[in-house]
Every structure is written in C-alpha cells, then in structure tokens.
Structure 1
Amino acid sequence: MNQAHWHLLLNHAPIFGALAGVLLLLAGLLGRREALLAAGLWALVLATAVGLPALLTGSGAAQVVKDMPRVSEALIHNHAQAARLGYYVLVGAATLALLCVLMLRQQAPRARQLAWLTLVVAALAYGLLARSANLGGQIHHPEIREGFGTPDEL
C-alpha cells in the first residue's frame, strides 16, 4: 500500500469523529447527561489522534496523484491548506475537550461553559474538515467539480 492508499483509508475518520463529537456533546449538554458529554469530549480527542496520520500521509498521496490526468497542483494545494486548517482547529477542540474532562472530574463550576465553547470549536472544525474532504474529492473525482455534468454537457 502506498501513501495515497493510507491517506484515503484514514482521512474520513477525523471528519466523522468530529461530527460524532459535536452530536454527542450537544446531546450531553442539552440533556444534561454526563456520559454523553464525556463520550463527545473523548470522541474529539480520538478524532484528533486518528487525524494526525491522515495529515501526515497527505504529501505522499499528493506525490502519487500529481501527474495523473485531470489532476492539478492547484486542487492539491487547496485541499492541503484546507486540511491543515481543519486539523489545527480540531486540535484546538481536542485540547479544550481534555481540559473540560479535567474540569468535569473536579466538578469545576465553569466546566459546562467550557463544554459549550468546545462544542462551538468542534463544530467549526467539522465544517472545515468537511470542506477539506470536498476539495480532496475534487482532486480525483472530477464529477463533483462545479460545472461538471451539467445538463448541457449530457
């Protein structure tokens, strides 16, 4: 297996992990269920851990596909920039999540407020990672590029 294969295997995990974290956090906060809240916080940490290998295999994947037909360096560059930004925001969410776990264990009065902030940052990370996924898909899936397959072309 080459870097592109590894990248494709790993790159969806942080996106869906961030989404799971957001949904679990929201359910835990709205329903005042500590188990769901904790699960959401740990989902963000896990998504970040799995996201690192996805990020690290990105440049190797780019080397594999860069000379393929209909693949442009601009598409690769845009995806890489979006992926880095999304991952760094996810790291921020995971850092807040770990701090929140500690505060919840100590029953700190501001723990729930930090959980809400974590939810906002995690939702932002999810949105950025989903955008990155769309840009990544455009690299080798021209059918999802804007203007491809319009009724006039069919």
Structure 2
Amino acid sequence: MNNSHLHLVVNHLPIIFPIVGIIILFLGIFTKSEVTKRNGYTIFILGALASIAAMATGENAEDAIEKLQGVSKDLIHIHEEAAELFAGFSYVTGGFSLLALFSSWKNYSISRFAPYIVGLLAIITLFFAQKAGTTGGEIRHTEIRSGFSANQQENIGTDDKKTSDRDHD
C-alpha cells in the first residue's frame, strides 16, 4: 500500500464519524439519554483522531499524486486548504466532546448545555467536511468538477475507445 492509497483509506473516516455522531447525539438529546449522548461524544473524539491520520497521510499523498498527468496543483492546493480548515474544526469538536464526556460522567451542570454546543460545532464541522471531501474528489474525478458536462464525458469515453482500438491494430 503506497502513501496515496493509505490517504484514500483514512480520509473518509473524518467525514463519516461526524455524520454518525450527529445522528447519535441528536437521538440522545431527543430521548434525554446521557449514555447515548456519551456515545455521540465518543464518536466525535474518534473523528478528531481520524482527522489526525488523514492529515498525516495527506502530504505524502500529495507528493505522489502531483507527478501524475492531468492532476492540477491548484486543485491540490484548494483541497489542502479546505482539509486544514476541516481538520481544525474536527479537532475543536473532538476537544469539546472530550470535555462534554467528562462533564457528563461527573454530572457537572455544564453537561446540560454541552450536547447543544457540541451539536452546533459538529454541524459547522460537517460543512467544512463537505468542502474538503468535494475538493479532494475533484482532484481525480473530473466528472464532479464545476463546468463538467455530459458531452465531455461522452468524448472522454470516445477518445478512450479510439485509443484502445488503435492499440489493438
């Protein structure tokens, strides 16, 4: 497994964890279950840890992929900036979740407000997760870039077929 592959393996986790965490946290708020809220906090903490892994593998993935034909360094830079912002919010959400988890266990009065603060942070984090995920996908998936049309997709398929046919002649 090379650096690019490792980044592709871990980079989805920081996006998935907050989605699952929000669902569980809101379920805990709705049912007034501290145990469920604690599970949500734990998932946000795992999301922050997964962000560390994604950021740690990103630079090596960049070094490997920027040499490939058709890869835009501008798109890589845009993704890198979006990922750094997302990671920052993920760390903050994970940190507040750690405090919320502790205050819930100790039954501190702040634990009444903690799920709402963490929930708001998680929603903001997901906004930036979407940006980081989309910009990362645009690096190699031309079909999701703005301005891409179905005609371009058809031409890509046609060009590939012509090249393929020439290779067999």
The TM-score with structure 1 as length reference comes to 0.94
Unaligned runs of 5+ in 1: none
Distance 1:72 1:152, change over 3 A: closer
1:62-77 equivalence runs, <5 A:
62-77=62-77
* Per-residue deviation, 1:149: 2.3
Residue identity opposite 1:104 in structure 2: S
Task: Show the counterpart of 2:146.
Answer: 146
Alignment match, 2:60: 60
Change (3 A) 1:3 1:16: same
What is the distance in 2 between the residues matched to 1:19 and 1:138?
21
What is the aligned partner in structure 2 of residue 129 from structure 1? 129
1:79 aligns with 2:74: no
Structure that is richer in helix per residue: 2
Instruction: Give the alignment of 1:1-154 within 5 angstroms.
Output: 1-150=1-150, 154=154
CA RMSD, 1 decimal: 1.4
Q: Find the aligned partners of 2:145 and 2:11 in 1 and give their Cα distance.
A: 19
Q: How many residues are matched? A: 154
Question: TM-score, normalized by length of structure 2?
Answer: 0.86
Rg: which structure is higher? Answer: 2
Q: Distance in 2 between matches of 1:153 and 1:80?
A: 27
Deviates more, 1:58-67 or 1:5-14: 58-67
Q: Give a deviation string over 1:92-132, Cα, whole Å, max 9, x none.
A: 01111111111111111221212210111111112211210
Q: What is the alpha-carbon distance in structure 2 between the residues aligned to residue 153 and residue 117 of structure 1?
A: 44
Runs of 4+ in 1 over 6 A off after TM superposition: none
Q: Report sequence identity in percent.
A: 27
Deviation of residue 150 (structure 1)? 3.8
